[in-house]
Amino acid sequence: MTDKALLEGGPEDLAGTVVPVVPPGQELKIPHLGGYEHYKVTTRHQDSKEGAVTVYKWWERTEVAE
């Protein structure tokens, strides 16, 4: 199992980014522009500059209350 994720979908500036996953296999919640982008793990893997990584697909955004 990899400890890095390739982000698929969501904001253009995050799509295609490889990020660490702690712990592996869990949903990702990425802080972004006053809110959070949420990504769910898939069963797919893709080669990247950092080796094979698990693909995480965007599924929603939540806003941070001010």
Report the distance separating Cα 5 and Cα 2, nearest Å. Answer: 8
Strands 51-63 and 28-32: unpaired
The pLDDT score that the predictor gives to residue 23 is: 77
Contact 20, 6 (CB under 8 A): no
> How is residue 52 written in tokens?
């094979």
Residue bearing tokens 């959070």? 36
Give the pLDDT of residue 54. Answer: 93
Q: Mapping DSSP to helix (H, G, I), strand (E, B) and coil, where does residue 33 land?
A: coil
pLDDT at 2: 54
pLDDT of amino acid 1:
47
**pTM for the whole thing?**
0.87
Per-residue pLDDT of the chain (66 residues; tens, 9 = 90+): 458 999 999 999 999 999 999 777 778 999 999 999 999 999 999 999 889 999 999 999 999 877
pLDDT value of position 26: 79
